Amino acid sequence: MARRSAPFAGALLAAFVVAPIGSAVDPLPYAVAAAVGALSVGLMDRRQGALAPSLLFLLAAAMLRHSVGGASAGVAVVTLVPVTAAALHGTRRQLAPVIAGVAAYFVVPVALVGGDQYPASGLRSGALYVVVGAMIGYTVQGLVGQVRTRMFEATKRGSALEDLAYTDALTGLGNRRAWEAWLDAALGAAGPDGPPLCVAVFDLDRFKAYNDAHGHPAGDALLASASEAWRRELRPTDVLARYGGEEFAAVLPACALADAHVVVERVRAATPLGQTVSAGIAEWNRAEDAAALVARADAALYAAKSAGRDRALAAAA
């Protein structure tokens, strides 16, 4: 876990060491900044890619700057650290508020305090940080998505025959054999002390009735369009497979249960043709095997079905 928070911790520690050199330090905001910074590092350990740690980091950097005299503190460069973290581990929707937070880092003190401590001329460099941060963030995010996609594709392919054996012909997703291989690989990568990992199981509600009413070709079209819509809502690191029939499953690496619930609700909302889907979510407890993890997600799915369908429920720990 220390590896995941190292960029946050290292950049923040360097800023706290360098900023007071040659400056008078106001001890109260300096101490508060240190506490907020430590909190942001701790949250990053547990919820990599989440928005709260990045915004707390920016708040700590702003308070540190204020404690040593304001705009002249020279710590603005650390604002690019949460941008990079969000680019590497978050979605485009999570990256945008972090970039907005960088803008607030420069604009808010000028608007509220101003004067020699925060002169309006500082907005010029602030604008450059926002532009460069956005360029870095979205470029890194695109490259990371491409690399991870190619890594997953290389893992599941290997040869044309193997690709056919691991692909569902109707949806183009991985089939159950591929799902089992991906899940085993994801559990191995997470290891005993790695990032959290969740699985989600989806089942289209009343699919048999839809088939009976519209015919099997329409049912096949629904499965294909739903799988495509759902795949677009997942993160670059997530993998969706057709588990069987109208049931699908997703591996959500580096994703705690609360974050997985957000992803699953986004997926459910994208279900096309006015249909609904139920889902079960389980976070790996690091003691169970893949079968037990999927069984807990399945149990949560059937609980969602029993509770009236069109909902997502989390499995008991």
Tell me which residue of 174, 202, 181 sits closest to 297, measured CA to CA: 202
Enzyme catalytic residues: 246
Query: In the prediction, which pLDDT does 267 show?
Result: 96
Query: In the prediction, which pLDDT does 166 show?
Result: 78
Q: What is the pairing mode between strands 247-253 and 312-314?
A: unpaired
Residue 193: Cβ within 10 Å count: 9
> Residues 234-250: pLDDT tens digits?
998 899 999 989 999 99
Three-state SS for 80? helix
Helices 122-156 and 176-190: crossing angle in degrees, nearest 10, is 130
Determine whether 45 is exposed, middle or buried from the number of CB atoms within 10 Å of its CB (0-12, 13-18, 19+).
middle
Query: In the prediction, which pLDDT does 1 show?
Result: 45
Residue 241 CA to residue 105 CA, distance in Å, equals 42
Phi-psi region of 197 (alpha: psi -120 to 50; beta: other; left: phi over 0): beta
User: What residue ranges of the chain have pLDDT lower than 70?
Assistant: 1-5, 45-50, 154-164
Q: Are 201 and 279 in contact (CB under 8 A)?
A: yes
Query: In the prediction, which pLDDT does 24 show?
Result: 82
Q: Are 188 and 286 in contact (CB under 8 A)?
A: no
> Residues 57-69: pLDDT tens digits?
888 888 888 888 8
Phi-psi region of 275 (alpha: psi -120 to 50; beta: other; left: phi over 0): beta
> Residues 190-238: pLDDT tens digits?
888 889 999 999 999 999 999 999 999 999 999 999 999 999 999 988 9
Planar angle of CA 133, 135, 138, nearest 5 degrees: 100
Exposure string (b/e) for 47-59, b if CB count within 10 Å is 16 or more?
bbbbbebbbbbbb
Q: Are 179 and 245 in contact (CB under 8 A)?
A: no
The share of the chain scoring above pLDDT 90, in percent, equals 47
Identity (one letter) of the amino acid at 268? Answer: R
Q: Give the start-to-end residue ranges of the domains of the chain.
A: 2-148, 160-314
Rounded to a whole number of angstroms, the CA Rg of the chain reads: 23
Residue 312: Cβ within 10 Å count: 22
Query: In the prediction, which pLDDT does 164 show?
Result: 61
Q: Out of 3.30.200.210, 3.30.70.270, 1.20.910.10, 3.40.50.620, select the CATH number for domain 160-314.
A: 3.30.70.270
Q: Are 256 and 250 in contact (CB under 8 A)?
A: no
Q: What is the mean pLDDT of the chain?
A: 87
Query: In the prediction, which pLDDT does 248 show?
Result: 96
Cα dihedral sign, 185-249-294-243: negative
Query: In the prediction, which pLDDT does 300 show?
Result: 97
Q: Report DSSP state, residue 289.
A: -
